[in-house]
Structure 1
Amino acid sequence: MNPMNRFLLLFLLISLWMPHCFADDGPGHALGTKAELLFEDDFERTELGPWKVIIPGFKISEGVLVGTQDRADHGSVGRVYLPMQDCLVSFRFQLAGSPRFNIVFDDKNHKGSHAGHICRVAVAPKQIRLGDDKEGVMRNDIFAMRRDPKQKSAADKLLIGRGVAAAVDLKSDRWYEMTIEILGDQMRVTLDGKEIGVLKSPGIAHPTKESVHFTVNGNATHIDDVKIWRLESKAK
């Protein structure tokens, strides 16, 4: 092979290889497409505004929402009431010393699960978990079974397929951007544009997520730039 042909072959191979190495794998696997913006908050104020503190405590400080656990028996809960079904939620967060926080979708009118919990994403320094609460750990019968040592193993069998978890390595002093997509019976999470996990489970398809809230455990979690869109199927 003459030098020119060798150069052209090398150039072709590099051209084919580079997109796979550097492409962002997030948007290519998106569940749907953004429709209208339903809610946004950059916390550039001092009052909590639409955020309702169900369990203390939450405050706005230096342009971010700060959640701290003020009660020993439960993490703090800060909620926005916003009826939605298929949606995309994006926000930035910093653990800032917190051992974990959850973002939870609820329907208080649904009586089949504890506190009307529908689905959630649980964030900890070493793991991010996607969970179907409605048909999983918060379903009334399973919730009761898991509190009974004699029935816990049977309850665990009922939880197969109701959650997925991914290993991560989150730094307490670093900001991250998370997106949560919900479309039908699927929920997908990305972190800084990279897919973390996808869960397909029937409870996620609950037709009304009446509210969304953050539950924070420990010292503090910082939240900023919350946005919520209605999500449409790509087929539309």
Structure 2
Amino acid sequence: MKRNVLLVALFTVTLPVIAADLEPVLGKKGALIKQETFDGPDVPKGWVANTGSLRIAEGKLHAAEKSSDKHIGAFRHRLPLQDCAVQMDFKLGSMRIINLGYDPAPGELKKKGHLFSVVVTPESWSIIEHNDKANPESKTKKLATANTNFDPETTYTLLLECKGNDVIAHVTGKDSLKATAPDFHVKKPGLVFRMGGKDGQEAIIDNVKVWALE
């Protein structure tokens, strides 16, 4: 009897801890459009490094900037979206910045460049509306921000929800950020990730899920 109890105890402590999904507040989760756990040996098809580098290690996606690119590490996953909720686990590591956001789909806006992003640094996080690169007078706007520390070795879960012109970002253990802008409702061609750091530094992403938001 004692041997059976010991075996049960050993089995219990080795079970993996799976974080619960965060829940949106702008609407309800609809269809699960995308799920990626990065369990294979190679970067999954469709995850593209425009600049920087991507690799898989220990079942997670490692993303880095390369100084030779002279540009922050920029990565995309094509996935047509509009009203949606995107969740991912991330670890900042020694990186100085992580972004998750969107571009406007072609033909949606008379604008060049990104639409909006949630930006995480070791000391703060924000929702920003990006400038129009075709307009020299256009400026990037910080629509919501909070000064709060992100431990470099802690894995956080981020949920970014967008419905109409409203955006809310949630991170485990942090107060949510909210923002609104007239152009946020447009169609989006996919996910945009950006990672900034020195050569040899990496951010880690895992458990990406994308839902339609109803």
Does residue 42 (structure 1) correspond to residue 37 (structure 2)? The answer is yes
Residues 166 and 196, structure 1, Cα contact 8 Å, conserved in 2: no
Deviations 1:57-82 (A, max 9, x none): 11111111111111352111221100
| Counterpart amino acid of residue 63 in structure 1 | G
Within 5 Å, give how 1:144-223 maps onto structure 2: 144-145=136-137, 155=139, 159=141, 163-192=143-172, 194-206=174-186, 208-218=187-197, 219-223=201-205
Alignment partner for residue 54 of structure 2, among 58, 68, 74?
58
Equivalent residues, number:
187
Identity %: 23
| Counterpart amino acid of residue 112 in structure 1 | K
Residue 112 of structure 1 corresponds to which residue in structure 2? 110
| Counterpart amino acid of residue 91 in structure 1 | M
Residues 121 and 130, structure 1, Cα contact 8 Å, conserved in 2: yes
CA distance in 1: counterparts of 2:32 and 2:129, whole angstroms: 25
Deviations 1:94-119 (A, max 9, x none): 0111010111211351463333x111
Structure 1 residues without counterparts, runs of 5 or longer = 1-25, 147-154
Structure 2 residues without counterparts, runs of 5 or longer = 1-21
Could you list the runs of 4 or more consecutive aligned residues of structure 1 that deviate by over 3 angstroms after TM superposition? none
| Counterpart amino acid of residue 209 in structure 1 | K
| Counterpart amino acid of residue 137 in structure 2 | M
Deviations 1:144-202 (A, max 9, x none): 226xxxxxxxx58xx4xx62111111011110001001000000011116542100111
Does residue 99 (structure 1) correspond to residue 93 (structure 2)? The answer is no
Alignment partner for residue 74 of structure 2, among 77, 81, 84?
77
Higher normalized helix content (fraction of residues): 1
Does residue 33 (structure 1) correspond to residue 31 (structure 2)? The answer is no
Residues 130 and 164, structure 1, Cα contact 8 Å, conserved in 2: yes
Q: Return the TM-score normalized by structure 1.
A: 0.73
